[in-house]
Each structure stands twice: as structure tokens, then as C-alpha cells.
A = this chain, B = another copy of it.
Amino acid sequence: MAEIPVLENILKANEELANQVRRRLTAAGVVAFNFIGSPGAGKTALLERTIPVLRADFRIAVIEADCATSRDAQRVQALNVAVIQINTGKGCHVPAHLILQALDGFALDETDLLFIENVGNLVCPSELDIGETAKIAVLSTAEGDDKPQKYPMLFRQCHAVVLNKIDLIPHTDFALERFESDLRAINTQVPLFAVSCRTNEGIAVWVEWLRNRFPPARLR
């Protein structure tokens, strides 16, 4: 299989760039979150609920990554935070070198939290380091309660799981106990937050955890 060493080279090059991202963020005292989930899991909606709660205490920047359009950046811009849209074209994830470029667009020394919304994809972004402090898995109840074991990579590695659209549970076959037992078979310890970005249910608990678990350098 001739492609394996080459793939390793690409991953190694990305890792070096991810380390550059990490060094710049650490030097500036920025905590960075990499939000990963399928298209439509509600990653942007989660930012729309999370940012207004944190904005009073933290200086926030956002990177939006999508194959095409700047729709998500436009939604986030309405929250009055610094936002940069990355379009990956055919790319199924955002690589570290694009994050590194995007950092030039922010006043990092005046930033506490950086939220990065990855391309909608439960598979590819989970393996790729982009210099983030923590990976946050976002999943919608409409995707079904059997996803952790079918797509284990992300659920093994993430620092938190946000289960969105719990308001839809009564209209689907989703069973929270099945989801939890599926998740625990992969990851016994990761915090699970059941939320509805539509009704705001569960958002306060999730944001409180984020605030306490990952305080920016300025507040430590």
C-alpha cells in the first residue's frame, strides 16, 4: 500500500502546524475549542446559545469552517464577536495550516476563548489535531442513539459530548438510556450534556461546565 507513508507525512506536517497554532494560542493565553459533528447537528446553533452567556466575561473569537458559503459566519457575526469564515471547498475537515492563517485575522492578545466550528463531518475532523485545547462532539438526537459505537473515533477522544435537539426525542425513536450506554462503552468518563438549542434547555449547565473546566489564562 504505497499511500500509507505519504499519508503519515501529511499527518506529520499537519501536526507540526498544529503545534505552531498551539504555541501561539498558549502565548496569548487563549483557550480553543474544536466543535465537531455531522452537518445539521447544531454546531452553529450551540455557538449562538453559548456565546451570549459568556460574552459578558470573556473576549471571544470564532472560526467557521464549511465546504462552501459564509452562512455560519454571518449567523455568528450577529452576536458581535470576531469571526472568520474558512471555506474548505472539497476538503472534509479544516487543517491546521488554515487555522494558523486565520489566527492572523484576530487580535489574539485581546482574546480569551476561540471557538472553531469544524466542517460538518463525524469522521475526518476527529483524528486531526488543529492545535485546540479541547474537542467538543456535537450530535443531534435525530441522528439516532446508536452513533457512538458506529463512529467511535470522535467519542473516544473528545472532552465533552453535547447531545442537541432533545426537544425532538418525543417525535423520534431516540432513547437517551441507549445513547448513554452506547457512549459509555466507548468512553466511560466524558461529560455528556443533553441540550436543546431550540428551547435553551440544558444550555446553562453546559456553559457553566465550559467556564469552569477551561478558564482562560487571564482568569486562572
Contact = CB atoms under 8 A, between A and B. Distances in A.
A150 B39 contact: yes
Contacts of A124: 92, 121, 123-124
A171 interface: yes
Interface residues of A, number: 42
Interface in A163-200: 165, 167-168, 171-173, 198
Given A2-B9, A151-B120, A38 B143 contact: yes
Contacts of A122: 38-39, 120-121
10 contacts: A38-B38, A39-B151, A40-B140, A40-B143, A40-B144, A68-B149, A119-B123, A121-B123, A124-B124, A140-B143
A28 interface: no
B142 A121 contact: no
A146 interface: yes
A9 B4 CA distance: 12
